[in-house]
A and B are shown apart, each in its own frame.
Chain A
């Protein structure tokens, strides 16, 4: 009750803040200056999205099957080793990762996609793996005791029950991805980083904001859409978003 009330005040405060910022941006002419970059922003948002969706999509396509394979009992002994290897992908700073990709693959969008892919693979694999392992053993026993084949067990019991956790991993991964994509500019990838880094270089804060604000908005939009996806895709019986 008290918590709900506090939350309502918080929402109201935020709205007020956004409104004041908007008024300030308009009055001080910052908005008008930002809009001068309109054309650049549009072009770069599309390019940025392309980078994110291709690298993120590939990470999902590789990460989920990899997580599934690692969670199979026959691979249990090697799973943690594999996970440590993937961990390197996240412990190495993203910038260094991109630099490494560049030194091997050269410059351009290709190396950028590769670098982003490596940086975002781990949360997906990790969540798929732990999500599947967290499905209670007695459910699996009941399922195989009823005569499900391993394939049916995976599709009808394990994946639906782990889906929420898996999607949470994808959500984290894409949030990292969108936020890291500006760095791709440094190895010749096209992204909103172009505005940010150029803005910093020529000491033009408005230009930097023209890159940073859309990046943040992109991150929020993608996170929101994935939340929506989880709401729709995950069965009502195991969906924390749909419990009363």
Chain B
């Protein structure tokens, strides 16, 4: 857990004092990623750097796991925090192994221990230790450097990590990949992470909580969904963008919105049975599943009305299929592509578990406004 209590930074400049961070108070629960978000010069980086005292705070206190850090020695404090800066901060004069083991060596680990740790971390990001340990940073591609630079911060297994726009310098495709890898890693490691970004999409994707800064002040601190659905003021609303409701789609999985009791028919059922089910539910089409309960096609009401026979003989192909873990953005994109108002939802084994409708999605997104009145 990281707790900031009235953290303030006033810089003395030639044009008089400038308040870069003004009484910032917030609390990041253990194991969560908090993204500090805002335009440049808003104080988010200053706030981050006050935590490991790269920038000394003018006033205020930082607590890490309940401990007041102002009582701690600066060097000890920094060695217990993983720190990832904006630029790729790998030391070019050191091999990858030496780079990864900087903090463990500072902490006085035995060589066997930090060497094993370096290999373990390389394995974690799917880089072969036998190839990479003895290489130098300039022999690696940008994406590889990026990965190593993130795992270097993890070397001594710090409970807390500070990341200053860590993925800002990479191209969009690699950034997506590394973000996903990072989230997967975080799901296992459960670090408490403070993460500076100026990209709202990155924030929505990575964050458990988002803190929005403007001119040194914390404007809103809440979950991504709350920030998007209920921006605290004009500034936050403007910053998250007019399409903020669409951004919320990323936050919800198909499994959370789907109707859990989907209607379906099997190939050996007759079309008239299908018609009855559709009429009872006021549906215009119905999913056909095979014996493994996997969706294989749909039957529309017109077909069932105009034909006789078995469902297995008169179905058309699926318009699309949603995975339970897909976010709603993916689902909606599929619906739009197929010009379809609903999709069957399947679990990891490909079995039908529900159906998701455009109406259900808009209902879900709107729910937060109805409960708030």
B232 within 8 A of A: no
Say whether, besides A145-B85, A146-B103, A147-B79, A237 and B93 are in contact (CB < 8 Å).
Answer: yes
Give Cα distance in the complex from A165 to B95, angstroms. 20
B182 to chain A, nearest CB (A): 18
Contact present for B103 and A147 (CB under 8 Å)? yes
Interface residues of B in 35-58 (CB under 8 A from A): 52, 54
> Smallest CB–CB gap between B250 and chain A, Å?
31
Give chain B residues whose Cβ lies under 8 Å from the Cβ of A160.
91, 93-94
A161 to B106, CA, bound (A): 19
Q: Given A146-B78, A149-B75, A237–B138 Cβ distance below 8 Å?
A: yes
CA distance A141 to B87 in the complex (A): 10
The answer on a CB contact under 8 Å between B78 and A161 is no
The docked-state distance in angstroms from the alpha carbon of A147 to that of B78 is: 5
Q: Does A21 contact B (CB under 8 A)?
A: no
Q: Is there an interface contact between B87 and A138, defined as CB atoms closer than 8 Å?
A: yes
- Is A236 part of the contact surface with B, judged by Cβ < 8 Å? yes
Minimum Cβ distance to chain B for residue A171 (Å): 19
On chain B, the number of residues with a Cβ less than 8 Å from chain A's Cβ atoms is 24
**Minimum CB–CB distance for B78 against chain A, Å:** 4
State whether B91 touches A157 (Cβ < 8 A): yes
**Shortest Cβ distance from A145 into B: residue:** B83
**B128, CB-defined interface residue at 8 Å:** no
Neighbour of A146 across the interface among B86, B87, B106, B137, CB < 8 A? B106
- Asked if A146 and B102 sit within 8 Å, CB to CB, the answer is yes
A143 at the interface (CB under 8 A from B): yes
**A138 near B75: Cβ-Cβ < 8 Å:** no
Known: A147-B79, A147-B106, A152-B106. A237 touches B92 (CB 8 A): yes
A17 to B12, CA, bound (A): 68
A interface footprint on B65-101 (CB within 8 Å = 1, 0 otherwise): 0000000000111110001011101011111000000
Residue ranges of A at the interface with B (Cβ–Cβ < 8 Å): 136, 138-139, 141-149, 152, 156-157, 160-161, 235-238, 243
Q: Can you offer 21 A-B residue contacts whose CB atoms are under 8 A?
A: A138-B89, A141-B54, A142-B89, A143-B91, A145-B83, A146-B78, A146-B83, A146-B106, A147-B75, A148-B102, A149-B75, A152-B106, A156-B91, A156-B94, A156-B102, A157-B93, A235-B93, A237-B93, A237-B94, A237-B137, A238-B92
**Among all A-B residue pairs, the 3 with the closest Cβ atoms:** A142-B89, A237-B136, A147-B79
